[in-house]
Amino acid sequence: MSSFSDPKAISNYAENALRRVPGLSDVHRMSALLMAESTPPDGRVLVVGAGGGMELKFFAQSHPGWQLDGVDPSAEMLSLASTALGPFASRVQLHQGYIEAAPTGPFDAASSLLTLHFTSEAERYRTLCEIHARLKSGGVFVAMHYSIPQNDVARDLWLSRCAAFAISSGIEPDQAKTTAAAISKQLPILTPERDEELMRRAGFSDISTFFVALAFRGWVARA
């Protein structure tokens, strides 16, 4: 799943993400609403996995006073984010690397959308701990990624449904099925129960689900 250095995949990232992830635009809107519940108008927000700039742009556009920091390991994806931000770029600082490259904060809120499913269980827990450490007490954390039952039958069924959604959105059938097979083989997807357990161990509380769509699940929690 190393498409984040492929120029063609990068140039089509936003379009393909919207085709593959049910309700992605609404996830951005819901995430902003959830973070705004306790983030002040001049708040500071951390976006983990910011490459592409989709949520950065939406957050900046919908909350003109927020200052945002985005971190991502892909220089190419950060370049895409910088271009996508356009006039909002002055309120966004981009940092290349993993969570350690992010400023220490403190941040009022943080998001990690379509990112944590790329990390192993140990790396996911460490990333969650690092995010928690950068948030103010009571700060909001929003996460969304693949999270499904892990027996072979259930895993293959839900990923095949994701492929069917992508096909219905205009993705070539062979491409959609190949991607689903690669996701099943390569991504360290966890169960929803395990994802929530790791959040609790990292220090988050008031964990609740705000989004479920096919193989994707989203949570909101408090530091």
Encode pLDDT of 61-106 as tens digits. 999 999 999 999 999 999 999 999 999 999 999 999 999 999 999 9
Alpha carbon distance 138, 39 (integer Å): 10
Question: What average pLDDT does the chain have?
Answer: 94
| ∠ CA 139-91-79, rounded to 5° | 105
Report residue 105: phi and psi, to 5°: 85, -145
pLDDT score of 152? 82
> Hey, what amino acid is at 52?
G
- Residue 36: Cβ within 10 Å count: 19
